[in-house]
Structure 1
């Protein structure tokens, strides 16, 4: 669990803590696969009020300990994105002060809601605070991008349109939207879903022409109905291939749509799906019903923003 070679924080430095909020892709278009193998995307991203929590405490070396209800799902600590992000930032900032990360893990992994990316982003925010580095410092931005495609948007942790391979972010004035998140406790590997989409290097995705023109999203303060009207016209291009890999995702979506949701869709590469409701009471009732009928599923009622 100990990774050597990093500079420690001084013993007098206080412990720092950050939340790592779940990322939700309200829409997700795959524009094509680039010749380097990466995919160009366009996604409207929101963040939920469910989160992991990451703490950074002074220590002699960089390390990570995971605990909490989902700690057993994290896999090998040495492979965790928190340590990857910290190493990448250490390579770019001389004498970077690090320490012991403690991850209180609540979000399901391999779930399409960026749990690992959110944890890595929280690590970068903590390291920035501990070292007096601006959050928009190009070295931190590069470390985030190299850690993973979802890490830059998770560093910001606010609603935006994400394009390119995740590096281009346009803030959005998204209102708070009552929502339910459901994961059937089935992990789905992102690489498998993209493989099932079937794009070759250099190939554009069918239907790309309808996303070339920028959508005029509502202004900050616009009612939720205005947003839902536009979001309803969107899609998640990974939803169909993910359902082919794990048909239970289709069952989750059908269950959400049967509860009176205004909009239901899969997030990211799955298997987590979300539904947006008119009010928090409706969202809570839907979550309670789904939890009763499917006690093995992970269900969260809250707010997207």
Structure 2
């Protein structure tokens, strides 16, 4: 049996540049990852099976062909053959929430397949498969702080913020990335700042925050609530939303912030964790 973590992804900064001929936009983003997320369990079996568990399993129950199954199939077609597998996804992260849940799950499946087939996790064909599955999947496969450009899938690793306390908050709404991009005003506001990760995060922005608020106004409420907490060093929306996050100076202020959010907004999901 193989157990693979599928940690949540954060975009500490996300700059949207020109629209490409393939329909995607050129992006420049600072990826980071946290210590917690979904969990994928894979075991050899007599017949293929896929089971969903966890608090957010319901959000995927009606998906006929999710990214985990597509990743397993793409690996077998492009990298190496696989025996029948029993796959269980413990879905702990909200669905369609801007923190790479599906991409992280697909990346975890690719890593598990590589272990089963005894191919290298950094094998070039595995990276190509990850890129074909989605723009965030290569970053989730690597799982390290990195600058991403192109579609966000060309990666340059850099030193990050390991151990930094972070609070993730989602107001319980699923946001369509397509709808958010459709609401973006199309203005290129320039590249990521240069410098170390702290400088890029501090001086960067998320160009999708304004259109995301127009799609789901509650995102503005989340950001306002996080801005009011003591001890935060950065507050921002991740990806195309609706999950927002706050970095904290220490674990005690993060815990106080989580308590305040939970008390004031009992219907919101939140997660206390750390950057890795």
Structure 1 runs not aligned, ≥5 long = 1-14, 200-204, 219-226
CA distance in 2, matches of 1:17, 1:60: 19
Q: CA RMSD for the aligned pairs?
A: 1.5
CA distance in 1, matches of 2:135, 2:185: 20
CA distance in 2, matches of 1:61, 1:169: 37
CA distance in 1, matches of 2:136, 2:47: 27
CA offsets 1:181-233 (integer angstroms, 9 cap, x no match): 1000100011110111144xxxxx4223x44xx71216xxxxxxxx2x54221
Question: What pairs up with 1:216-231 in 2 under 5 angstroms?
Answer: 216-217=195-196, 227=198, 229-231=199-201
Partner of 1:45: 31
Q: TM-score, normalised by structure 1?
A: 0.86
Partner of 2:221: 251
1:167 Cα deviation after fit: 2.2
Instruction: Give the 3-state SS of the residue equivalent to 1:195 in structure 2.
Output: helix
Partner of 2:171: 184
1:301 Cα deviation after fit: 1.4
Q: Which moved more, 1:38-47 or 1:86-95?
A: 86-95
Q: Which moved more, 1:161-170 or 1:125-134?
A: 161-170
1:141 Cα deviation after fit: 1.0
Structure 2 runs not aligned, ≥5 long = none
Partner of 2:184: 197
CA offsets 1:151-178 (integer angstroms, 9 cap, x no match): 1100111111111113211112112211
CA distance in 1, matches of 2:135, 2:72: 16
Q: 1:40 to 1:170 in 2, by over 3 A?
A: same
CA distance in 1, matches of 2:19, 2:241: 19
1:97–1:127 contact (8 Å) kept in structure 2: no
CA distance in 2, matches of 1:275, 1:94: 41
Q: Which moved more, 1:283-292 or 1:174-183?
A: 174-183
Q: TM-score, normalised by structure 2?
A: 0.95
2:52–2:61 contact (8 Å) kept in structure 1: no
1:256 Cα deviation after fit: 0.2
